[in-house]
Structures are given as C-alpha cells and as structure tokens.
Amino acid sequence: MIVVVGLSHRTAPVEVRERFASGSEGFDQVLARLAGRAEIDEVMFLSTCNRVEVLARPKGGSDEARARALKAVREVLAEHGKIAEPDLKPVLYEKEAEEAVRHVFRVTSSLDSMVLGEPQILGQVKDAYDAAVTAGTLRSFLARCVHRAFSVAKRVRSETALGAGTVSISSVAVDLSRRVFGDLEEGIVLLVGAGEMAEAAAKSLGKGAKEIRVCNRSIERAAVLAQRFGGAAAPLTALEAELGMADVVVTSAASPSFIVTHDLVKRVMKVRKGRALLFVDIGVPRNVEPNVHGIDNVYVFDIDDLEQQVAIGLEARKNEAAAAEKIVEHEVGQFLAWARGLDVQPAIVSLRAKTRGVLVAELERSLQGRLKHLPEGDRAALVQMVESATNKLLHAPTTRLRRAAGDGDAQTLTATLQELFELPVMHEVGDDGAPKVDDEDDDDDERAVQ
C-alpha cells in the first residue's frame, strides 16, 4: 500500500509553508533525494502554495517497512525545509493504506483545498505526476492510484456543482479588494507577477477596475498579460513608482525573498500622502514583508488571511461537497478491492504455472512415447488442448479467489491453496509473469502486478 506525508494550510502557517516552496530546480532535487532512499519503492512529490506532500510506496509491506519509509520521507522534507525533524513533525500529517488513498482522491478532487472546489489543484497533481514519470520514480501501483484519483476528480467535477461560483484564491482576493474599496471602478489594480495566479486575478477583476497594471521581472511576459486585459506593463525595477499609483496590489511572484519591503512601502506612502494601500499577498513564499501591515493606512492580507473569506462561500457548497465525498468513498472501495486482488495474484500465477507444467510434462512424455508418430499439426492441437484445459480447470477457483480478495477474505483461501497444491511462498511476480519464490520468511508485501 501507499503512505502520504505532508503539510498544508490546515496544519502549518504560511511562514512554515513558504520554507518548502520549490521552484523547478528545487522540485527535481527533492524528488531525486526521495527516489534515492532505499526505503522507498515508488514516489511522487507535490508542492503547491498551500501544501507540500510526498506520496510513496514503501519497499516492503510490513509495519517496519512502512515505518522506515515514513522516517525517510520526514528526513528528506526536513532537509528540504532546513528545519530539524523534531520541529517539523508537529505540523506534518502521515497517512497510510486506505486513509492515504482516500487523502489522495480528496486532494485531487479539491475537497481538501483552502477554496473548496478550486480547479488548480488537479493541474498541479498532474504536473507532479508527469514529473515523477519523467524521473522514473513511478511504477504500476502508485501510478495506478494517482490515475484513479484523476478519474475521481473528473467524476466530482461532472456529477456535482462543487466547482460552481468563486472557486480560486485569486477570485477570493478580488472579492476582498472589492469589499474594502467598493466596485473598484475608480481604482487602479497592480499585479506583481505575471503567472497563472496573476492571470486568474485579472480574469476575476474583468473590467471592474479603472486600470489593471502588471509589474514583473520579465517585461515581455508582463506586456503579454497586460495586453490581454487592456492594461499597462512595467519591469520589476519600476515597482516603487507602480506602488505609488496603485490602490490594490495583488502579489503572486515566485521569489525566495520579500519583493515588497517595509522600507520600500514607507517611501511609497510619503509620496501617496496617506492614501490607503491594500496588499493581497497570494504568493508562497510571501512577497510582502509582514511588518508592512504596521504602516499607517496600509493593509496586508496573506494567503492564510483569505481562509476566513473562503468560509463565507463554503456554506453554499456543503451539499455538493457531501455528494463529492460519496463519490470518493465509492472510488476508494473500488481501488482497495483492486489492490487486495494483488495479494492473491502470485498464488494464482503459481497455481497456473504448476498446473500447466504438470499437464505439459505428461503430454511431452506421451509425445516421446506412444504418440511419437503424430505429425506436427496434431502435436500443436494437443498443446492447445492443454492450454484450454488449464484455463477451464482454473477459471472457477481463480475467480472465487479474486472475489474473496475484493471482500478482504482471501488470506485463508490463499494459505489453503498453497497447502493443498504444495505451492511455494511467494511475495511477487517477475516481469515475465512467473512467481518469485521467497526462500526466507520475511514480511515483504507483494509488488504490484500490471
């Protein structure tokens, strides 16, 4: 089974989460460190503004193997966030087996997001999945779990109205701005950053603001976004002048340090002569230095402050969330039934191999003796008869064994099967479909079978 280790807006404040924010280079390094741990068989790393999570399949199915894998993940995350493991553990959540599968399905379906029903998380999980596939850190079991999560998210989006209405951090930020400044018809909105979050904020603003301006390190990218909304663009070096003109500033730039500092805003406010300035900082790491909020007539809301605003829209989606949770529970049951089927797969493969081996050996003995006069065509017909007989003989027991596995009752049947037919103890099957025999009595779980 799988484990999940992570932290999110539910367990860690933004000042902790921002320590784990990963650019593309940092993301690849963390994934490589996770994949390099001997305790982990498969792994995927998810990093967004509101959560950092590791999805992993331990190397082995025993309790000890899972404990080793969990510790390995904690160590990598502690190194990534430059925080001691004992200090990190209180803000982490750890989930195993069924609980872990349910968590993956809920996260991908946006049931665990700060803004219930927001669409961005599905794309972020897909990006993390693609990165893991490219890095070669996924194989059949964890890959199938994440693929199933995509299907669950699709069902939730098509069968419920969970995503109706205001469902993004950017749109909530815009709503907050309008509550402070009214309809914004006479206001100037400055977007610091020109990525997806900034674009979403601009879409939410529409034509409500007097003017939308975009300030970004890449003036070319800023110009493209500004042109889409009839606004103006400026380089980041012109930020001080842009702040002097703006009423609402929505920041979402990718930066390891504060872009808007206390000293910068102090200078800007002298020019503004007391005119109020609102910052909505949706960047992680944060773009605005926290003590900016202490300056007179300056208001700063970071991504954690938006949770209260999110709660206002949550009530209207509770019925849809309940329907979505039912879909998740059904899909979790289906996936677990498939996963339990893997428990009996080695026994089925071994039984089929032994049955076929006995029949083929007897056929070959006859073909070398009393039936040696048979032509090739007749010999081929007899080989096909053995294959058909094997399939018919084993159809009922394998079907019942798989059904019992889905119901969670296969352990006794599997043990009986191994005893009656003197099958070896197996924990996995090889790439050629043949069972691998364990000479030692260990607790390792079977590996996933495609």
Q: How remote is the C-alpha of 273 from its chain's centroid?
A: 47
- With beta carbons less than 8 A apart as the criterion, state whether 386 and 314 touch: no
Token pair listed for 394: 């084993």
Residue environment code for 334-357, b if the CB has 16+ CB neighbours within 10 A, otherwise e? ebbebbbbbbbbbbbbbbbbebbe
Q: Is 13 helix (H, G, I), strand (E, B) or coil?
A: coil
Q: Is 9 helix (H, G, I), strand (E, B) or coil?
A: coil
- With beta carbons less than 8 A apart as the criterion, state whether 202 and 213 touch: no
Q: What span, in angstroms and rounded, lies between the C-alpha atoms of 23 and 284?
A: 11
Catalytic residue among 12, 43, 44, 49: 49
- Give the DSSP H or E segment for 93: strand 93-96
The question of whether 49 is a catalytic residue gets the answer yes
Mode of pairing for the β-strands spanning 248-251 and 188-192 = parallel
Mode of pairing for the β-strands spanning 3-8 and 277-281 = unpaired
Preceding peptide of 375 cis, ω within 30° = no
Q: What residues contact residue 243 under an 8 Å CB cut-off, 6+ apart?
A: 190, 249, 260, 264, 265, 268, 277
Measuring CA to CA, how many Å separate 342 from each of 401, 417, 447?
A: 11, 16, 8
What DSSP character marks residue 167?
Answer: -
Measuring CA to CA, how many Å separate 309 from each of 291, 312, 351?
A: 22, 5, 60
Q: What span, in angstroms and rounded, lies between the C-alpha atoms of 139 and 121?
A: 22
Q: What residues contact residue 64 under an 8 Å CB cut-off, 6+ apart?
A: 443
Q: What span, in angstroms and rounded, lies between the C-alpha atoms of 229 and 192?
A: 15
Facing residues of 426 across strands?
A: 437
Q: What residues contact residue 323 under an 8 Å CB cut-off, 6+ apart?
A: 159, 160, 162
Q: At what angle do helices 318-367 and 97-108 cross, to 10 degrees?
A: 120
Active site residues: 49
